Chain A
Amino acid sequence: MPEFLSLIGAASFWIATLRIGTPLILGTLGEVLCERAGVLNLGIEGIMTLGAMAGWMVVYQGSGLWWGVAFAAILGAGVGLVHSLLTVRLGVSQHVTGIGITLLTTNTAYFVYRMALPQVTSPPKIIPFYPWPIPGLSGLPLVGEILFNQPPLTYLSLALVPLVAYALYQTPLGLALRMVGENPYAAASQGIPVYAVRTGAVMVGSALMAVAGAFLTLSAFDAFFFNIVNGRGWICIALVVFAGWDPWRALGGALLFAGFDALQLRLQQIWGSQVPYQFFLMLPYLLSIAALIIISRHAKAPRALLIPFRPRERV
């Protein structure tokens, strides 16, 4: 038990929690935006993979790290546009479209990577983001080390939480977004362009997912490898339900989840000799399923989630 407490009390544990949590925060926020507008985006896993590859590739070709992030975001928004052309305009199945987007983007990412680097055995590396200590605050004991000595994308993800919450709950645009996700017909009768709002939400959400992927290759690691995303996107989908489609609770859920993951990595070092490592690796997935089981009965999804808007077909 004292061993356990010293584990939780160490600054390195909390730093790891934030590092593991960053892509989850970004991805979950992106998915919250999509689903709040009424569109389930199962493309998340593939968009993250594409963002990870594209961001890394831009930097590997000699551009700056921020260009990598920007390129990933633009590419993500483009994929979001494709997703919304199918699900929002044509109104085809959001489930199948999302899986199709994931298959397409994942395999395109692998294809481009293989094509650009045909004969590499170990993945080539770039120089990733360094932590940016915040002057004055990073010197604080423990808190400074944990919160104010992080790489910039982690600050970005933390800053996006209040920003998304503000935009969603306090601005007319956010109101429009939530309306098209709850009752698009009522929204349309108020003069809100339903298709445009939904498309915009999916594009911005997908851009965030791509940045979540770019964080993996540009900040958490320094290379791209196959299966780099490894189900993180699907975990974000579970986190959205767990968070009740709310940005602040998404932050809480992502950090809670990341905390368990960080703990799991440390327990692996302690008990690794007795328990096979696969059982530790299984924990994040089982935890997500458990979270869904606990929360789902009380979950209140946006009412128009999964339902296409077909104004002229209503009787």
Chain B
Amino acid sequence: MRLEPRPTPSLVMMVLAPVLAIGLALLSCSLLILWTGAPVWVAYTALLQGALGSPFALTETLTRAVPLILTGLGVAVCFRAKLWNIGAEGQFYGGALAASLLGTGGFSLPWPWLVLVLLIAGWMAGGLLLWIPAWLKTQLQVDEVVTTLLLNFVILLVISYLLEGPLRDPLALGWPQGRAIVDAGLLPRLIPRSRLHAGLILAILAALAVWILERFTIWGLERRAVGANPEAARFLGIPVQRVILYTSLLGGGLAGLAGVCELLGLKGYLTLDLSPGFGYTGIVVAMLAQLQPLGVVAAAIFIAGIYVGADTMGRTLGVPTYLADVIVAAALLWMLVCMGLARYRLRWN
């Protein structure tokens, strides 16, 4: 068995890659399910049921997709410019923190305006959190992978301190949590008796905006050029460093927005478990979508379905819900295999 480079990347493989990746991920994870002793078919049926089987399940899946769309977009725009943003998790919390600081009563505005202010504040906080590593990268050649990763830990500890100290809700017993966001700052529910909130519309609008930016504007073109070949981009007179810096504000801002939406639409108060790894899952979403903004929406809904479905599966079959994370991670690796195989052909001789 050997690999042979294809003259041109296979288009069929590129198109099929996400579907194939998810299929292979489910297949390889069925080994883990077999090991637990649960019947694989029943387990995956339960997963599908839990994700799409009822109107309520469907709204739950869409609700879970909101932060994933936004973090996925945040990662995708950065990866497009080869700015390796692994800090979407931290930017998510940065956005949520900013919204929590301004939205818990210290600042008074009527309904839609307060939401707007909180969204902008979250955007700026997330953007700033990525702007710092991007600035260090462009000015001092500090590798952004490590700095964004480490900042995730720092921001969580900052929030942990704030929630146990100055921001702690005195009325909350037990776990440290922030004060509730005032009513004027909440995102409305889209469907009564479900948890689906207006964040979904915001997320889809954001995806459309990024798509337009990427497809039809000079900024999008510049970003793609910087990602494809920074040397050539510099030669063409594109201000590479400036492109990276504004990309960081855009990408970090989108991830920050995810935190705000989750806070204003779903939880209502800041906690340390606001995100079960949305930032890291955003990387998977972005890769499955091949960094295409509109593809991010589809990939995010799919991944959200796996998580929501796995909750149901876990409850009915007693399989630990970490299985969802394993499936999602396996999908990422299989996606990479498929993308690699778009460039290479397997020869069996």
Contacts and interface: CB of A to CB of B under 8 A. Distances in A.
Interface of A: 42, 82, 86, 89-93, 95-97, 99-101, 103-104, 106-108, 110-111, 114-115, 118, 230-231, 234-235, 237-238, 241, 276, 278-279, 281-282, 285-286, 288-289, 292-293, 296-297, 299, 310, 312-313
A278 to B, nearest CB: 4
6 contacts: A96-B332, A107-B326, A234-B149, A276-B164, A278-B161, A289-B142
Contacts of A82: 333
B5 A310 contact: yes
B143 interface: yes
Contact of A276 (B146, B165, B341): B165
B344 interface: yes
Interface string B157-174: 110110011000000000
B154 interface: yes
A90 B337 CA distance: 7
Contacts of A91: 340, 343
Closest 3 CB pairs between A and B? A90-B340, A103-B329, A107-B325
B118 to A, nearest CB: 25
Main secondary structure of the interface of A (DSSP, over half): helix
B62 to A, nearest CB: 23
Contacts of A118: 318, 320
Given A107-B326, A111-B32, 12 more contacts: A42-B145, A92-B336, A92-B340, A96-B332, A100-B329, A103-B329, A115-B36, A118-B320, A279-B157, A286-B150, A288-B146, A296-B136
Nearest to B314: A114
A96 B336 contact: yes
B336 A93 contact: yes
| Interface hub of A89, A285, A293, A310 (most chain B Cβ within 10 A) | A285
Contact of B283 (A99, A111, A237): A99
Contacts of A288: 146, 150
A95 B136 CA distance: 19
Contact of B150 (A234, A296, A313): A234
Given A99-B280, A114-B322, A276-B165, A281 B336 contact: no
Interface residues of B, number: 50
Interface in B319-339: 319-320, 322-323, 325-326, 328-330, 332-333, 336-337, 339
Contact of B161 (A92, A276, A296): A276
Contacts of B3: 89-90
A282 B332 CA distance: 30
A96 B287 contact: yes
Nearest to B323: A111
Nearest to A107: B325
A97 to B, nearest CB: 6
Given A97-B336, A103-B332, A289-B147, A90 B326 contact: no
Given A104-B333, A111-B32, A278-B160, A289 B150 contact: yes
B80 to A, nearest CB: 13
B163 to A, nearest CB: 10
Nearest to B325: A107
B304 interface: no
Contacts of A237: 145-146, 149
A47 B294 CA distance: 33
Contacts of B5: 310, 312-313
A97 B333 contact: yes
Nearest to B324: A107
B337 A86 contact: yes
Interface string B201-242: 000000000000000000000000000000000000000000
B170 to A, nearest CB: 18
A312 B143 CA distance: 30
Contact of B140 (A96, A103, A230, A297): A297
B111 interface: no
B157 A282 contact: yes
A288 B143 CA distance: 12
Contact of B330 (A96, A104, A289): A104
